[in-house]
Amino acid sequence: MLRYTLRRLLAALPTLMLVASLAFLLLHAAPGGPFDSQKRLLPAIQKSIEAQYHLDEPLWRQYLRYLDDLAHGNLGPSFQYRGTSVNQLIAQGLPVDVMVGLSAITLALLLGAGIGVNAALRRGSLADHASMAIAIVGISVPVFVVAPLLVLLFAVELHWLPAGDWVRGSIRHLVLPSVALALPYVAYIARLMRASTLEVMGSPFIRTARAKGLPGYLILWRHALRPALTPLVSFLGPALAGLITGSIVVESVFGLPGIGRYFLTGALNRDYTLVIGISVLYGALIVLFNLLADLCYALIDPRVRLR
Amino acid sequence: MSASASFFRQSLHRFVRQRVALGAGLTLIVILLASVVIPMFAAPEGAVPHYELLSQSPSSQHWLGTDPLGRDMLLRVMWGCRISLAVGLAASLISVLIGVSWGAVAGYAGGTSDSLMMRTVDILYSIPYVPFVIVLTVLFGHQLWLLFVAIGAVSWLDIARIVRGETLSLKHREFIEAARVAGTHGFGMIARHIVPNLLGIVIVYATLTIPSVILFEALLSFLGLGVQAPLTSLGSLIADGAAEVQTHPHLLIVPAALLALIIYSLNYLGDGLRDAFDPRT
């Protein structure tokens, strides 16, 4: 398993380099530079700023310099936030995203799996039909619709929870963003879980367990749950990657100071280093999530051999 | 459950499913027609700002009220629908074109070219493509055509994989052998014999690509990076509505419901078509 993990991580390096190179080339190919939009600077000052950030060098030198810094884990200075490095900005923003993302995926897993298993065990009942009908609506409604609707309901109408005005460490402020991010996943996981539980519950080894006289909850807990979870695990990789997109939206709706906001403002202000740095981080996260999903797969299903 | 009951249930299920797909198709046609026809016959002054009609509630004059600039909301929503659907169709077409050619060539050529081309697809899969498109649209301005290309260029990967798989199984069929004996090779073979036999599955996956593309465009417009004012799409209408949600919730609810209805219908239509076309599912 360790060898497999190391090999996968090694294989990810060319991908990350590709992401960095693509972002670098695109940003530099685009018209306009990071210091164009501001008030007109004296030519001498403009020149000295550009020299400070090595923008006066030929493109290939800048590119090699960037890759060299990247290899040393240094994402360079931000252009837009003077005197702050991209590493510092990410260190500030990432914890917010990790908190919201983790609580969202935990909520989605618990709630989605619960609803799905419940629907499967009561197949054909009102609860089954109702939860599946709601699930299809949940899949069709994207995060950027769910988020303002939640604000409308829980912040504007009911005054239960705050929307926006982020306070560091406040759990109440975490609730609406996490729920907004989680809801589409709840719907998807519920559907997946219902289908896989139905399939497992129909298989011969469950009949054997039932013939032994095991009570229903023990059959579910000891025998059915583990195989029913396997399709969920393969969904987990892409789902975690999708959280990145979701977090950009949720941050902009709720005004969270996460890296998605830095990414958007960085792109709008041509903050080259900030945008490339966050792109590379996103790429690394996707690689990591896929690896995590594959490892979970091997843990949960003994037939899977990692090679 | 007896065999006949299960068969009956299965058929019933299939029938209901297809009926739902039919309903979804009809809904889409109605929305499409409405979005084309209503702006054509509406009073033209509904499309321009009216400062005495700001943010009105629905009335007999303006069925869905007016927006914060005093424009007729029904007209705005229909324009938004039109653009969202147009982006969805055009970008899906681009992604189908790229995906089918890539997949068919890779599958038919086989060997090193195949593994090289499919490795490229694998690598592209691990690129964070939403951030990537955000960077693209920010940097190269907000032209509509660029939006088509940018979205189309990143959503062809699934289709390429599916088409390659199908091509691999088609390649060794007798009629392909026969065509080869008759002297058809390379590009002619792909264009005349492989691709036409893939059409069913391509139509199905194209139908399933459209909703994801529409959602993607809506996401970009919601973030203010997609369609620019005075043009509008469902995504930018939702963003405008979200800003007014405290005072005029219908400005959010109407475009959001319409977007959900379109996505919902397209997904059902795609599922129904897949059941009809793809015997493996």
Please check whether residue B227 is in contact with residue B147, taking contact to mean a CB–CB distance below 8 angstroms.
yes
For B202-250, the pLDDT digits (tens) are 887 888 788 888 888 888 888 888 777 778 888 888 888 888 777 778 8
Confidence of residue B44 (pLDDT cuts 50, 70, 90): low
Cis peptide before B230 (omega within 30 of 0): yes
* Residue A159 to residue B187: CA distance in whole angstroms: 64
**Tokens (6 digits) for A71:** 């290899």
**For residues A22-42, average pLDDT:** 71
In this structure, the number of other CB atoms found within 10 A of the CB of residue B193 comes to 19
A 251-290: CB under 8 A from B: 252-253, 263-264, 267-268, 270, 275, 278-279, 282-283, 285-287, 290
Residue in the structure block whose two tokens are 């299903």: A301
* Residue A171 in this model has a pLDDT that exceeds 70: yes
Residue B66, beta-bridge partner list: B72
Please check whether residue A114 is in contact with residue A122, taking contact to mean a CB–CB distance below 8 angstroms.
no
The crossing angle, in degrees rounded to 10, of helices B234-243 and B73-109 is: 130
Confidence of residue B281 (pLDDT cuts 50, 70, 90): very low
Exposure b/e, B50-81, CB count within 10 A at least 16 = b: eeebeebeeeeebebbbbebbbbbbbbbbbbb
A268 → closest Cβ in B138, B222, B249: B138
**For residues A120-128, average pLDDT:** 85
**Tokens (6 digits) for A262:** 């830095």
Please check whether residue A184 is in contact with residue A235, taking contact to mean a CB–CB distance below 8 angstroms.
no
Q: Residue A110: its pLDDT value, please?
A: 92
Question: Biggest alpha carbon distance in chain A?
Answer: 87
Which residues neighbour B213 within 8 Å (Cβ) at sequence distance 6 or greater?
Answer: B87, B88, B91, B92, B95, B151, B152, B155
> Best-predicted range by mean pLDDT among A1-5, A62-66, B117-121, B202-206?
B117-121
Query: What type of residue is A264?
Result: L
Q: Residue B101: its pLDDT value, please?
A: 92
Displacement of CA B141 from its chain's centroid (Å): 23
Q: Residue B1: its pLDDT value, please?
A: 41
**Tokens (6 digits) for A198:** 């139905």
Which residues neighbour B270 within 8 Å (Cβ) at sequence distance 6 or greater?
Answer: B204, B205, B207, B208, B210, B211
* Residue A271 to residue A273: CA distance in whole angstroms: 6
Q: For chain A, what percent of residues have pLDDT higher than 70?
A: 93
Please report, for residues A23, A27, A276, B8, the alpha-carbon distance to residue A270 in angstroms, rounded to integers and kept in the order given. Answer: 12, 7, 10, 62
Q: For chain A, what percent of residues have pLDDT higher than 90?
A: 4
* Residue B5 in this model has a pLDDT that exceeds 80: no
**For residues A79-105, average pLDDT:** 85
* Residue A37 in this model has a pLDDT that exceeds 60: no
Q: Residue B53: its pLDDT value, please?
A: 67
Q: Do B126 and A286 count as a contact with CB atoms less than 8 A apart? A: yes
Q: Residue B7: its pLDDT value, please?
A: 57
- The answer to whether A14 faces chain B, any CB pair under 8 Å, is yes
Query: What type of residue is A27?
Result: L
Q: Residue A167: its pLDDT value, please?
A: 67
The mean predicted confidence, pLDDT, of chain B is 80
State whether residue A85 is helix, strand or coil.
strand
A 112-141: CB under 8 A from B: 136-137, 139-141
Query: What type of residue is A140?
Result: S
Confidence of residue A219 (pLDDT cuts 50, 70, 90): confident
**For residues A217-237, average pLDDT:** 82
Which one, of A194, A185, A306, A177, lies nearest residue A248 by Cα?
A: A177
* Residue A41 in this model has a pLDDT that exceeds 70: no
